[in-house]
Chain A
């Protein structure tokens, strides 16, 4: 398998504080040591990636190796943020995994069409979320080259 590199920063965009907290706990439970950071909507995600506003200092906003993106968020939603990321020549190579409660076929197809790298439906239980974080990290952090 691929050599262990410096752990990448994982950036999660989710407007729901409970979901952010659950993910943080699931990361711990899955023994992930990666730098996990959060933004709360698509607007903040783009500010982070472009080092704008409160993310002006690049040391406060290290480039993520993987983005976990919710779809339904206020202000700029996940679809709009995804479209912007995947049309930006400098950002489009960053893998974006959709992590949402939506199971709508339309959302699945549309986000793959926009260039998302995978689409995962958020489970209801914490145990399932831990299992998903384990499988996701095993795939993206141990098998895949980023």
Chain B
């Protein structure tokens, strides 16, 4: 629906290298051509968004149109990173979708309260992941209007 949908950078935050690899493959399988980038924990995510440290060069850290955020990570976890993003007047408009293995009601409720835009549980199988990525991409890239920078 929007001419620019493929130009949207999607930033996935996950400490598990297998999960990052699976997500990359699932994006390919779902034929998504978007620029998909990865960071490995909440600290790196905030560095990326604020162009700090190894992300100091803005060309290496284009502003994401959508963030996929794992919850349980060492160092700064997803809850803390979400809190920081949604309290920052410049960052809060970026949609953040929680993508986690946790199905705990407490995590669902708490992250919605912190301002997450949706909460999705990671499926176990690769096929399940591809299906979820397809539905998610159709929704956020075809149906929804994302804020431009």
A binding-site residues for B, Cβ under 8 Å: 1-2, 86, 89, 92-95, 103, 105, 108-109, 112-113, 115, 117-121, 132, 135-136, 138-140, 142-146
Contact = CB atoms under 8 A, between A and B. Distances in A.
A92 B113 contact: yes
Given A121-B145, A136-B139, A93 B117 contact: no
Contacts of A132: 143
A135 B143 contact: yes
Contacts of A140: 118
B121 interface: yes
Given A135-B142, A139-B135, A143-B132, A108 B147 contact: yes
B143 A136 contact: yes
Interface of B: 86, 89, 92-95, 103, 108-109, 112-113, 115, 117-121, 123, 128, 131-132, 135-136, 138-140, 142-148
Contacts, number: 87
Contact of B93 (A1, A113, A120): A113
User: Which 10 residue pairs are nearest across A and B when measured between Cβ atoms?
Assistant: A112-B93, A93-B112, A139-B139, A119-B145, A145-B119, A118-B144, A144-B118, A135-B143, A117-B117, A109-B147
Contacts of A117: 95, 117-118
Nearest to A119: B145
Contacts of A2: 121
Given A95-B112, A117-B117, A145-B103, A1 B136 contact: no
30 contacts: A1-B132, A2-B121, A92-B113, A92-B115, A94-B112, A95-B117, A103-B145, A105-B148, A108-B146, A109-B148, A112-B92, A112-B93, A113-B93, A118-B95, A118-B117, A119-B144, A119-B145, A119-B146, A121-B145, A136-B139, A138-B135, A138-B138, A139-B118, A139-B143, A140-B118, A143-B120, A145-B103, A145-B121, A146-B108, A146-B119
B89 A108 contact: no
